[in-house]
Amino acid sequence: MNTLASTDVYVAKEFSRYPAGRFTTDGPNSGQRFRDGLLIPSMERAARVRVHLDSVLGYGSSFLEEAFGGLVRDKGFSAADLRKKLDLISSDESLIKEIWQYIDEESERLSKPRRL
């Protein structure tokens, strides 16, 4: 049950200035570790999570896709759920668009019938 109306996640301060890699087996600051260790616990304790993305060296698509697309693929969130739940904050607008693109692509991919 949510106990807070909202909370903040600062990637550079609370996770790493060097986010990189997809799975925990790829490296210490992977998208999977960020998602499971920081993002989801924050989402569980608050109705809305503001994710502050600035002050890191960069975000590769492997990291972003696993951290955010993985919320849909592995954790069962819908894109609509996530739009209500996440507030992405960055000085780089294209980064925010890229993250929503991964979430929407994964939702769309899962909504298609699976090929044999």
**Residue of the chain from 11, 32, 34, 65 that contacts other proteins (CB under 8 A):** 65
d(CA 33, CA 49): 17
Q: Does 97 bind other proteins (CB under 8 A)?
A: no
DSSP per residue, the chain: ---EEEEEEEIIIII-S----SSTTT-TT-HHHHIIIIIHHHHHHEEEEEEE--SSS---HHHHIIIIIHHHHTT---HHHHHHHEEEE-S-HHHHHHHHHHHHHHHHHHHSPPP-
Q: Does 7 bind other proteins (CB under 8 A)?
A: no
**Residue of the chain from 38, 69, 90, 99 that contacts other proteins (CB under 8 A):** 69
Q: Does 62 bind other proteins (CB under 8 A)?
A: yes
Q: Does 37 bind other proteins (CB under 8 A)?
A: no
Q: Does 30 bind other proteins (CB under 8 A)?
A: yes
Q: Which stretch binds other proteins (CB under 8 A): 1-9, 15-23, 38-46, 76-84?
A: 15-23
**Interacting residues with other proteins (CB under 8 A):** 16-23, 25-30, 57-63, 65, 69, 73, 102, 105-106, 109, 115
